[in-house]
Amino acid sequence: MMDFSHVFYFLLVVLWPECGWQPVSLTDMITSSAVKKVYRKANLCIHPDKVQQKGATLEQKYTAEKVFDILKVNVQILNVHDSLRSNKDNDEHLERKILDPEHLSKVESIFGNLSETIKIYGPWSSAWVGEAGGAYNSGGNHVSNRFLNSFWYLDQLGIASCYSTKVYCRQTLIGGNYGLLNTTTFAPNPDYYSAVLWHRLMGKKVLAVSSDVHIKDFYLQLGNVSRS
Ligand SMILES: *[C@@H]1O[C@H](CO)[C@@H](O)[C@H](O)[C@H]1NC(C)=O
Ligand SMILES: *[C@@H]1O[C@H](CO)[C@@H](O)[C@H](O)[C@H]1NC(C)=O
Ligand SMILES: *[C@@H]1O[C@H](CO)[C@@H](O)[C@H](O)[C@H]1NC(C)=O
């Protein structure tokens, strides 16, 4: 889920030998727990306090500081591009998946695990969804660009908010079937209006709400309905 490998290769190039950074191979980072280990090791090598302790030069301190910032940024990005896992243009299962509360909630374990990772390894950082289109490979025609898709989209925005996600990037504004605007006419697709409504109605504070009624979760966030 989290691809840090490019960052770790970058470390090899910019860090000096005495800082303790050892090369890692891609095969060492197959499982997420292995990635976490490497990430923690990298953080230890370039943490400003550690670098200070090891008597680094001014230039090395500066480099460490910059790399530390890059690691911080990279731990924040989570891609949930394929949460509906459709790779066909007309996946007949796509509609069923969107209307299946259980399927939609599967992504919660990713958000939950990410917030655990952040709590343990990067409490200074926050989660972002870097790219979310629902169904990868450009989305499904007649689904991703239809009203139906907002059941997925709004639900995802709700889940993301419950896990303190700071930024949610929708793939895409224009392009593919999941574009918020039609690729040729630029006419807004239904999800565009859902995004506008979300922005207007939902505030920053998330409240825990529940119900005995067996329907898909609902979300409540304090907002200013009268905002212009
Ligand atoms: C979240 O973590 C649990 C426990 O480590 C694991 O079983 C589950 O597969 C993880 N979920 C995802 C989506 O990575
Ligand atoms: C864009 O709109 C045109 C005209 O309504 C339609 O034929 C086309 O399928 C739309 N494209 C997408 C990707 O939704
Ligand atoms: C509601 O609007 C007021 C005044 O514009 C602002 O100070 C406040 O932060 C807003 N609250 C939310 C939850 O957006």
- Write down all domains in the chain, each with its CATH number in brackets: 1-46 (no CATH), 50-199 (3.20.20.80)
Residue whose CA lies nearest to ligand 1 atom number 3 = 113
Distance (Å, whole) CA 49 – CA 102? 45
In this structure, what are the phi and psi dihedrals at residue 206, rounded to the nearest 5 degrees? -100, 130
Residue 6 confidence (pLDDT): 65
Backbone phi and psi for residue 43, each to the nearest 5 degrees, phi listed first:
-60, -40
The single-letter DSSP state of residue 132 is E
* Structural tokens at position 190: 């239904």
- How much distance in Å is there from the Cα of 190 to the middle of ligand 3? 27
- Is 80 exceeded by the pLDDT of residue 124? no
List the one residue out of 82, 105, 104, 76 whose CA is nearest residue 166: 76
Pairing of strands 205-207, 220-222: antiparallel
Could you read off the pLDDT of 131-182 as tens digits, one per residue?
Answer: 788 887 788 888 999 999 998 999 899 889 988 888 888 988 999 999 999 9
Q: What is the mean pLDDT of the chain?
A: 79
Lining ligand 3 with CB less than 6 A are 203-204, 222-224
CA of 111 to the centre of ligand 1 (A): 10
Query: Could you tell me what percent of the chain has a pLDDT over 70?
Result: 77
Rounded distance from Cα 221 to ligand 3 centre (Å): 12
